[in-house]
Amino acid sequence: MTFPWLKGHGTENDFVLLPDHDGTVHGTLDPAFVAGLCDRRRGIGADGVMRVIRTAALGEPSDATWFMDYSNADGSVSEMCGNGVRVFALHLLQEGLVPEGEPIVIGTRGGDKTVTPHEDMFSVDMGLPEVRGYSKVSANGRTWEAQDVRTGNPHAVAFVDSLSDAGYLVDQPDFDHSVYPEGVNIEFVQRVDAEHIKLRVHERGSGETRSCGTGACAAVVAHALDRRTSDPLHCRVDVPGGTVWVDWGPSMPLTLTGPAEIVARGEMDWLS
């Protein structure tokens, strides 16, 4: 069966998009199929797959017209992707599936997200974070205390003196499975100043990625809590793939702002 695909990224966190508006092209995404598409040697290569489907066709509880049916690179289902939802919004705009010049509401398993275009940037209302307790994470023979922050996905945020302290992050860092029974994204964060941080992330189901939008949000929340400030932050977050900005203050929703690009498209027969 031939089907259309697109390739896009947000700060080099990259995705395969599968248009399937009425849900008849792919049905429920098979994890092995997703993993094959994401494989960088035997597939297109990506950190995840987003099926572009109408919410009514998927049957998810959402008031949005379009739903981001997102899977990690290993085929596991994820609640939300802050970089991916910007790419998803760009695709909807480029294909004329949503009106220009208006905020775009997109359904996700982490709740409906409103994306506002600003020329070549997109701002996402990420909602309120959920802050929990602390646990431990370990990598490269070292162990750190990590703040538990939920921003659509679960995150364990650890502060390091240098991003190199985490090592190569080829393997999943150790974490407390009793705190994160379904896995966790682990952020290693280096402070630059009050409104500037750097991070690396190991995403559950995908490995180390060049960027993580929900992780950037979680890192800024942990940064603010660690500084014990109640002042709203407009924080620059440098990731290996570029820069995003996060706005947040106590009792305020998180706003994630960053670029999005569609870089390739085509049609294919999946033969694997």
pLDDT band at 272 (very low <50, low <70, confident <90, very high): low
10 by Cβ neighbours in 10 Å (0-12 / 13-18 / 19+) ranks as buried
> In the chain, what percentage of residues exceed pLDDT 90?
90
- In the annotated binding site, the residues are 13, 72, 82-83, 153, 185, 203-204, 213-214
Residue partners of 119: CB distance under 8 A and separation at least 6: none
Q: Please state the pTM of the whole predicted model.
A: 0.94
Q: What is the pLDDT of residue 108?
A: 96
Distances (CA, A) of 5 to 23, 51, 155, 265: 15, 10, 30, 6
Under 8 Å between Cβ of 9 and 15: yes
Greater confidence (60 vs 134) lies with 134
Q: Where are the alpha helices (DSSP H) in 39-149?
A: 55-58, 82-94
Task: Report yes or no: 69 and 51 within 8 Å, Cβ to Cβ.
Answer: yes
Residues tagged in the binding site annotation for substrate: 13, 72, 82-83, 153, 185, 203-204, 213-214
In the set 38, 81, 217, 235, the catalytic residue is 81
In tens, the pLDDT along 260-270 reads 999 999 999 98
For 65-124, write each residue's pLDDT tens digit: 999 999 999 999 999 999 999 999 999 999 999 999 999 999 999 999 999 999 889 999
Q: Is the pLDDT of residue 61 over 90?
A: no
- Mean pLDDT calculated for residue range 230-258: 94
Q: Where are the domains of the chain?
A: 2-127+260-267, 130-251
User: Is 38 in the active site?
Assistant: no
Cβ proximity of 237 and 197 under 8 Å: yes
Q: Is 81 a residue of the active site?
A: yes
Q: Tell me, yes or no, if the two domains 2-127+260-267 and 130-251 fold the same way.
A: yes
pLDDT mean over 6-34: 96
What CATH number labels 2-127+260-267?
3.10.310.10
Q: Which of 4-8, 56-60, 229-233 has the lowest mean pLDDT?
A: 229-233
> Which residue from 219, 266, 216 is spatially nearest to 241, judged by alpha carbons?
216
The whole-chain average pLDDT of the chain stands at: 95
> What pLDDT, in 10s, does the model give residues 156-184?
999 999 999 999 998 899 999 999 999 99
Superfamily of domain 130-251: Diaminopimelate Epimerase; Chain A, domain 1 (3.10.310.10)
